[in-house]
Structure 1
Amino acid sequence: MRERSGNPPGRRPLRRALVAVVGTLALAATATAVTGPSANATVPPPPSGWTQVFADDFDGAAGSGVNTANWQYATGTGYPGGPANWGTGEIETMTSSTSNVSLDGGGNLRITPRRDAAGNWTSGRIETKRTDFEPPAGGKLRVESRIQVPNVTGAAAKGYWPAFWMLGGPYRGNYWNWPGVGEIDILENTQGLNTVWSTMHCGTSPGGPCNETSGIGGSTACPGATCQAAFHTYRMEWDRSTAVEEIRFYVDGNNFHTVRANQVDATTWANATNHGYFIILNVAMGGGFPDAFGGGPDAGTQPGHSMLVDYVQVLSSGGGGTTPPPSGGGRDAYAAVEAESYDAQSGTMTEGTSDSGGGRNLGALANGDWVQYKGVDFGSTPATQFKARVASGAPAGVSGLVEVRLDSRTSMPVGSFAVGSTGGWQSWRTIPANIGAVTGTHDVYLTFSSGQPADFVNVNWFSFGR
C-alpha cells in the first residue's frame, strides 16, 4: 500500500507526484456503479478462458470474523522486526477485533476505523495466507474486488486511507526488501476524494527506476456514482502473454492505467515480478498518502465509517500454469512431484529456482507451515523411501524437520528428515529418508516443524521409492 517518503517501508507509498495528476488522469467513464450495499451478492463466474484460483464472498453471520483458512490478520503497528507504523507513518493500531474487522451478515466484509476516548485509533488489516498469486508463464492473472470505500467526505474524512493491494511474496518474513520485491496497489483512496489511485512500486527507494516513494501510478474518478457512495469493481490484470509484459488497472471495466516491463530495466522488473504475491485489504488512518492531500486524522475526523468488500476473486488464464488450480489427484508417487504444484498450503511462497531444470521452488518454510498434494498413487507394492530436493540458508542453530503425513496434516508422520543450512537458499541437496510402508492412493502432506520461528528450508521437488 505505501510507504513514507525516504524510508524503506513495506507498504504503499506517499504519492507526492500524484497530487498534480489527479485531474489530468481522470476519465469520463460511462460505466454505472451499483449503489447501496450488496445483498448476499455472489462472486461472478469466471469469464470464458479463465479459471478461478481463489475467491471469498464474505458470506457469514453478522459480527463474525473472516475465514482464517483464507486470511490472516496483521495486527499492531507494524510487522515484527519491520518498519514502525507499517513503514508509512500511519497512526492506527491494527487489531483482529470484530469491532474493526467483521462480516456484516449481508455478504460484505467491514473494515472499520475506530477512535477511543483518549483519541487513539484502531482499524483492521487482513492478508491472504497464500503468497503465490502470479500469472502462469505466457498467461494472465486477474485480481479483483467489489468495494465501497468508507462513505465519508470532506473534513470528516480527513486521514482515511482505504486500500486493496498486493505485496511480493518475499516480503513476508523479511520486511526490509521493499520496494525491490514489488507492490501492486489496485485501489487506494484518501480524504474522501472521488478518486481511485493505482500504482506499481519497484526498484530502490528513494528515487530509482520506479520513482519511489511515489511509484509508477495513475488515477481516475470513479465512474457514475462516487467511490464513497457506491460499490465499484477494482481489477488488476497482469499479462505475460503480450510481447512486453504489462500490468493493467481497471475500475468498473475501464482500463485507466498500465505499467509495462520496458518502462524499467530488466533486473528491476524481474526482481519485482519473478515470484508470487499476497493480497491485502485494510483501512489506515494518517500517514504519507493522506499527508500529501492535507493530512489528518484530526479532531474533526469521524470514526466508524467502514470499507465494505463484497468479494475478492483471483483468476488465471492460459500459459503453462505457475499458479495452478488444484490438481485433484492423479499423481505418481515415484515421479518427481514439483513442490509448487500443491493443492493447498499454509504459510508458504514460491520463487524462481537456480536448481537444475529451473522452474519454481517452494520457499520461506518455517515451523507450522504445510502443503497438501492430493491423490498420490503409491500402487500395490509398498513405498519405503522418500527423498526431497532442499536448500537452506538458515543461520547457525536454526534447523527443522520435513515430515510426511498421509490424508491429514495432523496424522502421525510416516517419515521425516532433519535439515539445517546447506550453504544458501539456492544451494540444493537431495536428502533421503526411510518411511513406513505405504500402498494405495493418499493425499500427501508435507509439514514443517522447528524449535525456532525462522524460515529453515526451501523445497524444489520430492518423490518416493521402494
Structure 2
Amino acid sequence: MRSRRRFLAAASAFAALIPGVVAVALSTQSASAAPAPPAGFTTVWSDDFTGSAGSPVNGSNWLYDLGHGYPGGAGNWGTGEVESMTNSTNNVYLDGSGHLAIKPIKDGAGNWTSGRIETQRTDFQPPAGGVMRIEASIQQPNVNTANGLGYWPAFWALGAPARPAAATNWPSIGELDIMEDINGRSSEFATLHCGTGSGGPCNETTGIGSGERACGGCQTGFHTYAVELDYGANPQQLRYYLDGNNFFTINANQVDATTWNNATQHGFFVILNVAIGGGFPAAFGGGPTAATVSGQPMLVDYVSVSTKGGSGGGTTTSNPGGSIGNAYTAIPATKYSAASSGINVGQLSNGAWAKYSGIDFGSTPATQFVASAASGAASGVSGLVEVRLDSVNNAPIGSFAIANTGGWTSWRSIPANIAATTGVHDVYLTFSSGQPAPFVAMNTFTFGH
C-alpha cells in the first residue's frame, strides 16, 4: 500500500515554494555507475541499471508490485491512484543506456498501466549510533502542468514491518518520501509519515513535510535526491537532500519517543514508482485529464544505500542511553536499545534478539510475561520467544511457543510463566526456531504478578 497521501491546500504549498534551489542539469547526462558515497560513508547496496535495452530489472535486487494494491491491503494503493501496476517491460525496463525507465501508458479505452518496484532487501538501516543514506539520480517524467496532470513519480522507502502486513500498519511503521512531484510542476516534496492514520503526532494523512520546493529542470535532467537517517545525532534526525543541499530536517523530538521509534528503528525497503491520479495530484488541480500525455517515463540512473559510523558489532540502537522503566506497562517491541543486525520485529526468525534497558520490576516479584504477538508463518514453522535477564547469553527465565495465528498482524495476547523477578534489569527477548523462516511478529509486551 502506498501511503494515504497528503491532501494539501494548493495555497499553503505555494507559500512553501522556494525558487532557484538548483541549477538545471541537461537531459543528455551520460549514464554511470553509482558514484562513490560522501566522505565517511560505505556503500552497502546499489544498482546502476546496466543491461540491454528493453530488459527487465535485476530480480535479485527488485520485486514488482502488481495491480491496484498489496494482496490484503488497501485498494488503489491507499491513495486513490488509478493505474494498474505491471511487470511488463512496456512499463518497467532498462533503456540500454544505463537507466531504469518506469513508463505510465494509457490504452485506447482510457485505462492506465505503470510500474512500481521495491528492493528485495528490507534491512536497510543505520548501524548503532551511525547514519544511513538512501540516494538516487532521477529524471522526473518530462511533462508539464498542461500535459502532466495526474503524473506522480516517487522515490521513497517503507519500514520493513509493512511488507508482511500488506502495509495495513501504515503509517506507524514509517514512510520516508525522498522525492515526489505531481502534475509536472517541476518541484520536489520530502515527507515523513508516522503515527496514526488520521491526525495524530504526524498530522496524517499530510505527514511531516517540507512543502513544495522548486526543482528547476527536474523534468529534463537528472538530479540527486537523498535522505539520511542519523541514529548518532542528539536528537536523532532525518535529513533530506536535493543535489547535495540539505533542504529539510526532521528531529526525533518533534514527536513522542514511541512514534519516532516505531517509524525509524528498523530496516527499510526502497520503492520507485510512477502513479497516475490520486489524492495528492488532486490537491493541485487533479488529473489525469484528456490532455494528460501517455508514455513519459521517469528515468533512474542509479540507486544506492550507504552507511557511516556507529559502533558496529552487529547491533542497532533505537533508544540510546534510555531506560524503559515500569515493567507493568505495555512496552513497544520497537523500543529496544540494541538488537541483532537487521532486526525486523514484524518478522522475527531464529537467532534474532532485542535488548530492553532498565526495566524496573519493583519489590513485588513478577511471575508473568505477556506478549502481543502474531505469526503468518507457513505450516510447520514455529518457535520460542524467550525472556533473559542482563545478558543475551544467560539462561531464559521463561518462554512461550508460537506458530501461525492467522497472519502477521493477527495479534494474540500470549502469557508465559517466568521465574520470580524483582529489581531493575536489562531484559533480552530472544527468538529461536528449528527452521530459518520467520515465525513471529512482536507488537508489545509487559509483565505481571
Looking at structure 2, the residues matched to 399 and 122 of structure 1 have their Cα atoms a distance apart, in angstroms, of 39
Structure 1 residue aligned with 2:155 = 164
Alignment equivalent of 2:250, drawn from 247, 259, 267: 259
Structure 1 residue aligned with 2:375 = 394
Looking at structure 1, the residues matched to 112 and 192 of structure 2 have their Cα atoms a distance apart, in angstroms, of 28
What is the letter of the counterpart of residue 403 of structure 2? Answer: G
The answer (yes or no) to whether the contact 1:25–1:218 under 8 Å persists in 2 is no
What is the letter of the counterpart of residue 229 of structure 1? Answer: T
Structure 1 residue aligned with 2:359 = none
Alignment equivalent of 2:86, drawn from 82, 91, 95: 95
Aligned positions, number:
369
Unaligned runs of 5+ in 1: 1-8, 325-350, 372-390, 403-417, 434-445, 449-454, 460-466
How far off its partner does 1:254 sit? 1.4
Q: Would you say 1:129 and 2:130 are equivalent positions?
A: no
Looking at structure 1, the residues matched to 259 and 34 of structure 2 have their Cα atoms a distance apart, in angstroms, of 35
The answer (yes or no) to whether the contact 2:162–2:170 under 8 Å persists in 1 is yes
Q: Structure 1 residues 214-223 or 262-271, which shifts more?
A: 214-223
How far off its partner does 1:28 sit? 3.5
Alignment equivalent of 2:182, drawn from 190, 197, 220: 190
Alignment equivalent of 1:420, drawn from 403, 411, 420: 403
Looking at structure 2, the residues matched to 281 and 16 of structure 1 have their Cα atoms a distance apart, in angstroms, of 22
Structure 1 residue aligned with 2:199 = 207
Looking at structure 2, the residues matched to 140 and 41 of structure 1 have their Cα atoms a distance apart, in angstroms, of 25
- Which aligned segments of 4 or more residues in structure 1 are displaced greater than 6 angstroms? 422-430
Q: Would you say 1:73 and 2:64 are equivalent positions?
A: yes
How far off its partner does 1:19 sit? 4.8
What is the letter of the counterpart of residue 439 of structure 2? Answer: F
Looking at structure 1, the residues matched to 314 and 142 of structure 2 have their Cα atoms a distance apart, in angstroms, of 35
What is the letter of the counterpart of residue 189 of structure 2? Answer: W
TM-score, length-scaled by structure 2: 0.74
Looking at structure 1, the residues matched to 198 and 285 of structure 2 have their Cα atoms a distance apart, in angstroms, of 22
The answer (yes or no) to whether the contact 2:262–2:334 under 8 Å persists in 1 is no
How far off its partner does 1:321 sit? 3.8
1:154 is paired with a residue whose SS is coil
Alignment of 1:310-389 (within 5 A): 310-321=301-312, 352=334, 358-359=339-340, 361=343
The answer (yes or no) to whether the contact 1:135–1:323 under 8 Å persists in 2 is no
| Residues 1:227 and 1:181: Cα distance change in structure 2 (over 3 Å) | same
2:147 is paired with a residue whose SS is helix
Structure 2 residue aligned with 1:43 = 34
Structure 1 residue aligned with 2:419 = none
Any idea what the Cα deviations from partners look like across 1:261-284, whole Å, max 9, x if unmatched? 111111111111121111100000
RMSD (CA atoms): 3.2
How far off its partner does 1:36 sit? 1.1
| Residues 1:36 and 1:430: Cα distance change in structure 2 (over 3 Å) | closer
Q: Would you say 1:275 and 2:266 are equivalent positions?
A: yes
Looking at structure 1, the residues matched to 229 and 28 of structure 2 have their Cα atoms a distance apart, in angstroms, of 29
The answer (yes or no) to whether the contact 1:18–1:214 under 8 Å persists in 2 is no
Q: Structure 1 residues 154-163 or 422-431, which shifts more?
A: 422-431
Q: Would you say 1:456 and 2:448 are equivalent positions?
A: no
Structure 1 residue aligned with 2:99 = 108
The answer (yes or no) to whether the contact 1:134–1:323 under 8 Å persists in 2 is no
Structure 2 residue aligned with 1:243 = 234
Unaligned runs of 5+ in 2: 316-332, 352-371, 384-400, 406-411, 417-428, 443-449
How far off its partner does 1:206 sit? 1.3
| Residues 1:140 and 1:425: Cα distance change in structure 2 (over 3 Å) | farther
The answer (yes or no) to whether the contact 1:95–1:124 under 8 Å persists in 2 is yes
The answer (yes or no) to whether the contact 1:10–1:179 under 8 Å persists in 2 is no
Alignment of 1:400-411 (within 5 A): 400=381
Looking at structure 2, the residues matched to 210 and 13 of structure 1 have their Cα atoms a distance apart, in angstroms, of 13
1:179 is paired with a residue whose SS is coil
1:196 is paired with a residue whose SS is strand
| Residues 1:396 and 1:82: Cα distance change in structure 2 (over 3 Å) | closer
TM-score, length-scaled by structure 1: 0.72
Structure 1 residue aligned with 2:47 = 56
How far off its partner does 1:117 sit? 0.8
